[in-house]
Structure 1
């Protein structure tokens, strides 16, 4: 159990730092009311999880320890659903209803497509 916690912590730390850097970089490039940095990390995180899930089923080399490190840890730290929820609430509370609806709908639909795409891609990687 201790080994699993260490692996999740290591992966989560790296994922969190990467999430911060991606969001910071996006916010410097684009200054929209739409939370684009969080949107991009959520979608790319879903894509990465899709690839990792597909690879873990396909290859026996992808053991539980690697799952803890990459899927639970890294992707858990990288994806930002709690930030997504907080930003959605702020959009709603500030009466940005169209942006609120677009952000939620776009994130969910794009996330599902990205996780499916990642999973499909993992099946053609040799």
Structure 2
């Protein structure tokens, strides 16, 4: 096998890892969304808030772990988790739509509360994820 063919094979495996991770992340996001809707109702987008906070902490923890590998080596598992799972799990596009819809329904206070809780939650979770990962070295 030539170096070029081996590189293509590794690239295809990486794409497959990202795709599988994305499918699993999106599937879990859907389950959480349906559960929150049934449990808490449609007044406030709790599920999106929760998955974005959890995803922010997880992606920061994983990225910090990846940086700790010698010479910046990133395994296929990191592609699976960071680009795949976290990318499929978090919902920033849905977040923007939900904030806009709250605003358009004349629920400006809820829209602002949602944006403030989301952004501060993501940043705090990312900081905690990074600190937790860095403290294990």
Q: Same fold (TM over 0.5)?
A: yes
TM-score (ref. length: structure 2): 0.84
Give a deviation string over 1:67-120, Cα, whole Å, max 9, x none: 211100000000001111111111011110000001011101110110010000
Instruction: Output the CA distance in 1 between the equivalents of 2:31 and 2:122.
Output: 20
Q: What's the secondary structure of 1:33's corresponding residue? A: coil
Whole-Å separation in 1 of the counterparts to 2:41 and 2:129: 29
Q: What SS class does the counterpart of residue 111 from structure 2 fall into?
A: helix
Tell me the equivalent position of 2:15.
Answer: 5
Q: Distance in 2 between the 1:32 and 1:89 partners?
A: 15
Find the aligned partners of 1:104 and 1:34 in 2 and give their Cα distance.
12
Is 1:23–2:33 an aligned residue pair? yes
Residue in 2 that maps onto 1:124:
135
Over the residues paired in the alignment, what is the CA RMSD in angstroms? 1.7
**TM-score scaled by length of structure 1:** 0.91
In the alignment, which residue of structure 2 is the partner of 1:54? 64
Q: Where in structure 2 are the equivalents of 1:1-126 lying within 5 Å?
A: 1-31=11-41, 33-60=43-70, 63-125=74-136
Give the unaligned 5+ runs of structure 1. Answer: none
Number of residue pairs aligned between Structure 1 and Structure 2 = 126
Whole-angstrom CA distance in 1 between matches of 2:135 and 2:63: 13
Shift of 1:32: 5.2
Q: 1:3: how far off?
A: 2.2
